[in-house]
A and B are shown apart, each in its own frame.
Chain A
Amino acid sequence: MSVNRWLATGNFYESYKQEQRIFSTHCERAVFIVFIVALFLWPLLIKTSNTALLVLDEIMIAIIAIIGLNLVTGFAGLISIGHAAFVGIGAYTLAATSRVLGDQHVLLTHAWPLMIFLSGTAGAVFGAFVGLPAIRLKHLYLAIATLSFQMIFQWTINFMSFFNQGQTIPIARVYCFTGMVSRKDHYLFWYYTILIIVVVCGFCVRNLLRTRYGRCLVAVRDNDRAADAMGMHPGLTKVYAFSLSGFFAGIAGALHAYLYRGAGLDSFTLHHSITYLAMAIVGGLGTLAGSFFGPTAIKALDLQVEQLSEWTSVFLPAAMNLATALKPLAFGLVIVLFLIFEPRGIANWWRIIKSYIKLWPFKY
């Protein structure tokens, strides 16, 4: 009997290989492909403002960063309160190049894919370095170690004249096949570039989690002694998780610097580290889908709050800026409510919806 690969009403796996498929049915694969194609096509069909594209670019950069954070915090179970510093290291790799070679150097403008990769590598090196304490420390102490890394990073940028004391260091526009990417096409160009990188990163991580190296992370999170007994090296695994997360963060940072055509300390502070953690939690820790939902949800919330406070500013005295108050309030409430009522995050809703559709005429 051949198995119906288009629709499935339950899990009828016969081998491990079947269970580890990325798409369990052809329908799922088709929907996914249509979705990706739609993501690529819609900017060509619908005229979009640069503001909207900028928001989308920001969300996708955050998605890349969160994929990295999810690897270290969600899958390997190591709390990192210094993720913005890793993102910052990516951005400041570009900034340092721009300071040394001049911001119009060919390496920055023409070889930008190489620079993005290099930034990721720099992030990975620093990640491994920060991950070293993980060999000896657990949980709380590790969280504090990453926090202190964040503080040291901020100080280094803030007080070194090489990094312009934390002020923005300009980075030139990049050149594509057809010539320099103009101001008009800037956001669209980066929309496509970032989208491609997001898709590639997503597939890389999805596949990583199916290999022994990915399973190793989860094993060390669940019980490091058992993992040790089974021949894995927990300490090395943790360092490797950190450097992997640093790699994704570095890429996100480089993209951020290119998108804003500059790197400044304002985007890589402790506050941003906390926001990244919140995105990972709201999306759902330890799920790949969560890394996509979390940033989208938090950014959408931010925009809504901004809209609301703009709307209320008509009724309020001009000196009062409601956005500064409402933003942290809404942000904190969302974190706390998710932790109390839905600790598995939006990814859990996604799972419920998916299984509902899969089994549709039947309840379960």
Chain B
Amino acid sequence: MSYFFQLVVSGIVTGSIYALSALGFVLIYKSSRVLNIAHGQIIAGGAFITYALTVWLKIPIYLSFFISMIITFFLAMSIERIFLRRLIGEPIISIIMVTIGLMSILDGIIYLTPFGTYNLSFPDFFPKRPIIFWGISISWTRMAGVIITFILISLFSWFFKKSPIGVSMRAVSDDQMASMSVGISVPKVFGLAWAMAGMSAAAAGSIIGNITGLNFETLHAFGIAVFPVVILGGLDSIIGAVVAGIIMGLIQQFAAGYLDGNWGLNGTADVLPYIILLIILLFKPHGLFGTHEIERV
């Protein structure tokens, strides 16, 4: 039984990271209907900025965490301004391809830095001994990661529910024409959505980097791994991203814990999300919480 609870706990840890990564993805899709394939690279970039600030510039981690969030805020905003703004109104394939191009460019830039080749890891900030209660162990880093993730997610949701800017962003995602007519600048909202997504990506990246170490491959794999999460939760639902993130984390941990090694299976945690994704797409394409906008052909 304690094995089961151990899996549940680690599933929630993985899931909350998925949730935070998916949050940025959903933000961009919700406001501007852009499928951002370069999200993993932004996550990795955020993690590397945090590392550079903490280790090379010797800034305390909690400060560098925020500074890296601010840097990616402007970075993502300029990405939107330079690349995506020109393509508003273009066919969907152009928009997908431009984010793919962006992914490649960011890849290239990161490979130019030491982070592309070396595996670095953050210095330990927390006691090494894991917390153990009722036979379930969880490391301090993971614990802190989960707590920060939940704080950030609730902050983001508060921002969208209550603050004027958040309300205007929701208005744009609902009806661009109507929100333009009441004086909301739609391009500005797009830029802001990217900026917020960059911010959440940096936070996610720093947390992942602290847990798994700074390997570019693992970090940017999160950009693809969020696809099953966002589809399960519904492409345009923030609540969906959080719930689906945790469900996906649990599924992955259970798959790794119970399926692997039995019946000759191996590495099922990597493939199960995509199989679920296909099943959801076939039977419930708008996900658990997404708006019903799919038209049947």
B108 interface residue (CB < 8 Å to A):
yes
How far is the CB of B81 from the nearest CB of chain A, in Å?
13
Q: Is there contact, CB below 8 Å, between A235 and B102?
A: no
Contact (Cβ within 8 A) A138 B295: yes
Identify which of A148, A319, A330 contacts B228 (C-beta below 8 A): A148
Select the stretch in A24-32, A113-121, A248-256, A331-339 that faces chain B: A331-339
| Partner of B111 from A159, A234, A325 at Cβ < 8 Å | A325
Q: Are A143 and B104 in contact (CB under 8 A)?
A: no
With the chains together, A122 CA to B270 CA distance in Å?
25
Q: Would B294 and A137 count as touching, CB distance under 8 A?
A: yes
Nearest neighbor of A325 in chain B, beta-carbon distance: B111
- Specify which chain B residues have a CB less than 8 angstroms from the CB of A340 in the assembled complex: 83, 86-87, 98
- Interface-located stretch among B122-130, B238-246, B271-279: B271-279
CA–CA, A324 and B216, complex, Å: 13
In the complex, the answer to whether B93 meets A148 with C-beta atoms within 8 Å is no
Q: Are A148 and B278 in contact (CB under 8 A)?
A: yes
Asked if A147 is at the interface of the complex by the 8 Å CB criterion, the answer is yes
Shortest beta-carbon distance from B30 to chain A in Å? 13
Q: With A152-B271, A335-B97 as given contacts, are A136 and B105 in contact (CB-CB < 8 Å)? A: no
Give chain A's interface residue range (CB within 8 Å of chain B).
Answer: 35 or more
Chain A residues in 8 Å Cβ range of B191:
none
The stretch from A4-12, A193-201, A273-281 touching chain B is A273-281
Residues of chain A lying within 8 A (CB to CB) of residue B227: 144, 147-148
Q: Check: B100 CB closer than 8 A to any chain A CB.
A: yes
Give the complex CA separation of A139 and B35 in angstroms: 11
Please tell me if the beta carbons of A332 and B295 are within 8 angstroms of each other in the complex. no
> A332 touching B105 by the CB < 8 A rule?
yes
List the B side residues contacting A320 at CB < 8 Å.
117
Report B142 CB to chain A, min CB distance, Å: 26
CA distance A277 to B37 in the complex (A): 14
Is B112's CB within 8 Å of the partner chain A? yes
CA distance A334 to B101 in the complex (A): 8
Given contact pairs A335-B101, A339-B101, A140 touches B35 in the complex (Cβ within 8 A): yes
B235 and A140 contact, CB distance less than 8 A: yes
Taken together as a complex, chains A and B put the C-alpha atoms of A155 and B224 apart, in Å, by 14
- Decide if B109 is an interface residue (CB 8 Å cutoff): yes
Known: A144-B281, A336-B98, A336-B102. A136 touches B93 (CB 8 A): no
Nearest CB on A from B173, distance (A): 15
Contact B100 A274 (CB under 8 A): yes
Q: Which residues does chain A contribute within 8 Å of B275, judged by CB atoms?
A: 148, 152
A235 to B100, CA, bound (A): 28
CB-CB contacts of B103-116 with A at 8 A, as 1s and 0s?
11111110110001
Set of chain A residues within 8 Å of B266, measured between Cβ atoms: 159
Closest chain A residue to B276 by CB distance? Answer: A148
> Within the complex, which residue of B92, B265, B274 is in contact with A140, where a contact is CB–CB below 8 Å?
B92
Query: How would residues 240 to 284 of chain B score, 1 for a CB under 8 Å from any chain A CB and 0 otherwise?
Result: 000000000000000000000000011100110011011001100
Chain B residues with CB under 8 A of A141: 231, 281, 285, 294
Task: Enumerate chain B residues within 8 angstroms of A81, measured Cβ to Cβ.
Answer: 96
Enumerate chain B residues within 8 angstroms of A181, measured Cβ to Cβ. Answer: none
Which A residues, 316 to 334, have Cβ-Cβ distances below 8 Å to chain B? 319-321, 324-334
* Residues of chain B lying within 8 A (CB to CB) of residue A159: 265-267, 271
Give the distance to chain A from B188, nearest Cβ to Cβ, in Å.
21
Answer whether residue B94 sits at the interface, using C-beta atoms and an 8 A cutoff.
Answer: yes
The complex places the Cα of A340 from the Cα of B106 at a distance, in Å, of 18
Q: Are B35 and A339 in contact (CB under 8 A)?
A: no
A312 to chain B, nearest CB (A): 12
Residues of A within 8 A of B295 (CB): 138
Bound: A282/B235 CA distance, A: 29
Contact B224 A328 (CB under 8 A): no
Q: How far is the CB of B225 from chain A (nearest CB, A)?
A: 9
CA distance A339 to B266 in the complex (A): 41
B108:A149 contact, CB within 8 angstroms: no
CB pair B108 A278 closer than 8 Å: no
A102 at the interface (CB under 8 A from B): no
* Additional A-B contacts beyond A137-B285, A151-B224 (16; CB < 8 A): A77-B93, A140-B235, A141-B294, A145-B278, A147-B227, A148-B277, A274-B103, A277-B100, A321-B117, A325-B116, A328-B107, A331-B108, A332-B100, A336-B101, A339-B87, A339-B101
A-B contact pairs, 26 of them (CB 8 A): A79-B92, A133-B278, A133-B282, A136-B285, A137-B285, A137-B294, A140-B96, A148-B274, A155-B274, A224-B297, A235-B297, A238-B297, A274-B100, A277-B100, A278-B100, A278-B101, A319-B117, A325-B109, A325-B116, A328-B107, A331-B104, A332-B100, A335-B98, A336-B102, A340-B83, A340-B87
